[in-house]
Amino acid sequence: MAADLLVRNVRPLGGELTDILILAGRIAPGPAPAGVLVLDGSGRIALPGLVEAHTHLDKSLLGLSWYRNAVGPRLIDRIDNERAVRKTLPIDPRQQSERHARLAVSHGSTFIRSHVDVDTDCGVAGIAGVMATREALADVVAIDIVAFPQSGLLVRPGTVELLEQALRLGAETVGGLDPCAIDRDPKGHLDTVFGLADRFGRGVDIHLHEPGEMGAFSMELIIERTRALGMQGKVIVSHAFCLGMPDAAVVDPLIAALAEARIAIMTTATASRPVPPLMRLARAGVAVCAGSDGIRDTWGPYGNADMLERAMFVGQRYNLRRDDELAAALDVVTTGGARALGLDGYGLAPGCGGDLVLVEAETVAEAVAQRPGRRTVVKRGSVVARDGIGEV
């Protein structure tokens, strides 16, 4: 619900002390009308609402018993394990997605893109569960759903039809996964994914874990299809580990082509794999966003849905130390996410949507490096978390 709010005594992005007025859910120039609700920021930094650009709301184990992970090391081990274990654990996508989304909001995320599993075992139950949460939390956080063929697309007949069903139900974006390594049919996989996106008028967001030359090959096919279908600005490649290979002769032309096709890159800044070269991508004009990926699920025990902490991981993984570099890390979880996801009216200027998070820090660099707790979060002019605790 769009609301009016006067946020007093805050420092936008660590700047001078000022007030931010929100009228009907949008940031407005002053003066504030009489009687408007006031939130005292007490000198805290105001950041635009954080953007969680890649997570999996449907399958977190938050609030459930600790899962003893004894899963094999390969991607396919984790995929197969999850499908098997899901039948034995009480993972209700509706309940889990609300727990997960509320945790993200308490840390300052006001926008979440969630990939949601669609496969021949669970069908579109996950999509329905996350859609119900999206509706229940409509005043708290915006959620965008990717119909995600986690177990493969063409290798599991029936999945394409389920993706179509998910898109008809209300998923916004078509997902994909390792066209060579999982589906073993890169042309078939990507023609299907982009075909669906073209037919339904949707964007594409592909998990591309494939390393080195294999990943580069898949990425070339993604770029070709983005151009051919005029989908510039509507495609994200998530992970893109192949861009982390050292061979500049392969990587540099790919980066130039990504910039030209306006394809965004999502990174978790993982410590355990090669990562796309953040600063080179930024210099080339490629939008880079970040995500938590899975939070405490059968894939891994980590994660807390805090995008400010993710910015710190970005800083650590990319060896960012200077204050201007830490500001670039913050960009990845704010403006980079907004650009990658095509969010309209993002930011703290008049006319922008009234989403912000108040953080107790002296500078943006301190906010990223120390990720202070007890944040207050505003969504479209309504306080949705106060001092780190959800209100709605």
- Interface residue list for Zn ion (CB under 5 A): 293
Shortest reach from residue 295's CB to Zn ion, in Å: 11
Rank residues 293 and 297 by Cβ distance to Zn ion and give the closer one: 293
Shortest reach from residue 142's CB to Zn ion, in Å: 19
Shortest reach from residue 369's CB to Zn ion, in Å: 26
**Residues in the chain, how many?**
392
Rank residues 7 and 295 by Cβ distance to Zn ion and give the closer one: 295
Cis peptide before 48 (omega within 30 of 0): no
Shortest reach from residue 352's CB to Zn ion, in Å: 28
Rank residues 208 and 361 by Cβ distance to Zn ion and give the closer one: 208
On the CB side of 108, CA atoms within 13 Å amount to 30
Contact (CB, 8 A) for 196 and 152: no
Rank residues 110 and 292 by Cβ distance to Zn ion and give the closer one: 292
Rank residues 75 and 154 by Cβ distance to Zn ion and give the closer one: 75
Rank residues 267 and 334 by Cβ distance to Zn ion and give the closer one: 267
Rank residues 109 and 376 by Cβ distance to Zn ion and give the closer one: 109
Contact (CB, 8 A) for 118 and 157: no
Integer angstrom CA distances of residue 36 from 25, 39, 64, 370: 13, 10, 41, 33
Please name every residue paired with 45 in a beta bridge, in sequence order, or none if there are none.
11, 359
Q: Which amino acid is at 11?
A: R
Integer angstrom CA distances of residue 24 from 40, 182, 344, 380: 19, 47, 16, 8
Shortest reach from residue 273's CB to Zn ion, in Å: 13
CA 370 remoteness from chain centre: 21
Shortest reach from residue 157's CB to Zn ion, in Å: 23
Shortest reach from residue 115's CB to Zn ion, in Å: 5
Helix (H, G, I), strand (E, B) or coil at 70: coil
Cα angle at 109 between 239 and 193, to 5 degrees?
Answer: 40
Rank residues 20 and 62 by Cβ distance to Zn ion and give the closer one: 62
Helix (H, G, I), strand (E, B) or coil at 219: helix
Residue nearest to Zn ion (CB): 293
Cis peptide before 274 (omega within 30 of 0): no
Query: Residue 94 CB: number of other CB atoms within 10 A?
Result: 16
Shortest reach from residue 294's CB to Zn ion, in Å: 6
Shortest reach from residue 160's CB to Zn ion, in Å: 20
Rank residues 175 and 353 by Cβ distance to Zn ion and give the closer one: 175
Helix (H, G, I), strand (E, B) or coil at 40: strand
On the CB side of 116, CA atoms within 13 Å amount to 37
Report the distance separating Cα 362 and Cα 369, nearest Å. 11
Query: Residue 326 CB: number of other CB atoms within 10 A?
Result: 22
Please name every residue paired with 263 in a beta bridge, in sequence order, or none if there are none.
235
